Structure 1
């Protein structure tokens, strides 16, 4: 399998997972142009996978359907996705010639957010980012934490394919929370080097995220103590740690 990150808008990525015979599934095409360009260079669209209803993740589908009227589109059960698609839910599988991906319900960023896992790749939309996680627009801290723990339990060598190029900004906050973490320092420098060469910082390896990403480490004393110092009180439990960390990030200015 070949993976390609197609830049869109200011900092989105549309992911293309491609078989050796050039068939590709495209994940979260917020705009059609990058997919059309990839198709012109030889990729043959096999399907579109949607993780959630936000327009920067689904906005290009209508135009793609005009180009390929029989293009299969998979997405969550959500009435806000105003286009015909094959609805999938937790435990379902997307099986196409050359592709087999399982569907995971990961509410938190939105109530109906899903992720796709297969071929050692996780397509997680705006749920999990390198060194960070999505904002809680609709979910609760308990839901978001449970979803992140579910993703964290995938095989350590999983490639984490998220929807935005946020790694450098996330690294600044993560270093503020956990300034002595050597693995995090290395990851920040790696990301700086990649961006200096106009390369994507993702996909990230899950094993590395488990060492560096504070939102995947809310059960560790160093993160709990940092949140306690920021809040001025000791968190009641791990959900409270996560909630405090997410609020801290929401208001953080470097």
Structure 2
């Protein structure tokens, strides 16, 4: 996805969700990512005279799929062909084409394509959509944090985050929630000598005071400030060992206790 050819815009939903809208600059055809609320999407579509032809789903939680059926009905009433990609392994009834991990999705009538990346942990079948310089990662990686482990295991989530961390550092990260301020409060608790983190907290506070999103972030930024991607950092190891009152002998062990700590923070 080339930045000069595509616009990526957030549609805000519920308390803190972002539904991502992808639009080729010279076209009215759009793709939506994780549209949990149909009403805010339809309002934007109608106000801007857009045509919906593709939906990308990362996982089955209702705040990510709850608007799909209504959007399908709307497109049918307009005689707009609509393709809904998503992981059938995550038991999503509204998907029309299985987004198989390791596969490639080509968005019709555009030059836009995505690699499908398996990210189990938050849910069993969670996936991400990866283009040249962007990743739409649902509820796996957030700025300054990561998703809760509802269905998978700590090992799965650790491995999923490692996959994301290995993407090119320039990759922009489009996650599905505005959790950054809360995440950074925890990050500071475990890594309070990190100057990159302290500076980022000031940047994020300024953005939120202006009502602006903190997303997208980038892999480069997250490697500097996100404790869940920095489990080999000595200060984070020591902090987590003090919290858990045990010796932690691997990055994965640190991650596991860090996630337990964050759940109770």
Query: Is residue 29 from structure 1 mapped to residue 39 from structure 2 by the alignment?
Result: no
2:220 counterpart (186, 194, 207):
207
Counterparts in 2 of 1:1-254, with a 5 A limit? 1-20=6-25, 21-40=27-46, 41-69=48-76, 70-78=81-89, 80-96=91-107, 97-98=109-110, 99-252=112-265
Q: C-alpha offsets along residues 159-182 of structure 1, whole Å, 9 cap, x if unaligned?
A: 100010000000100000001111
Deviations 1:61-88 (A, max 9, x none): 0000011133110000236312242111
CA contact (8 A) 1:53 1:78 kept: no
141-150 vs 20-29, which moves further: 20-29
Which ranges of 4 or more aligned residues in structure 1 deviate by more than 4 Å? none
Distance 2:32 2:94 in 1: 16
Do the aligned residues in 1 keep the contact of 2:59 with 2:90 (CA within 8 Å)?
no
- Taking the aligned partners of 2:142 and 2:90, their CA distance within structure 1 comes to 26
**Consecutive unaligned residues in structure 1, runs of 5 or more:** none
| 1:78 match: secondary structure | helix
Q: Can you give the 5+ residue segments of structure 2 that lack an aligned partner in the other structure?
A: 1-5
**Pairwise CA distance, 1:139:** 1.0
Contact 1:101 1:117 in 2 (8 A): yes
Is the 2:86–2:95 contact (alpha carbons within 8 Å) kept by the matching residues of 1?
no
What count of residue pairs does the alignment treat as equivalent? 252
Give deviations 1:218-242, integer Å, cap 9, x for gaps: 1222221111111122113221111
Go from structure 1 to structure 2 and tell me whether the alpha carbon gap of 1:94 and 1:172 turns closer, same or farther (over 3 Å shift).
Answer: same
Do 2:35 and 2:63's aligned partners in 1 also have CA atoms closer than 8 Å? yes
Tell me the secondary structure at the aligned position of residue 185 of structure 1.
helix
TM-score (norm 1): 0.96
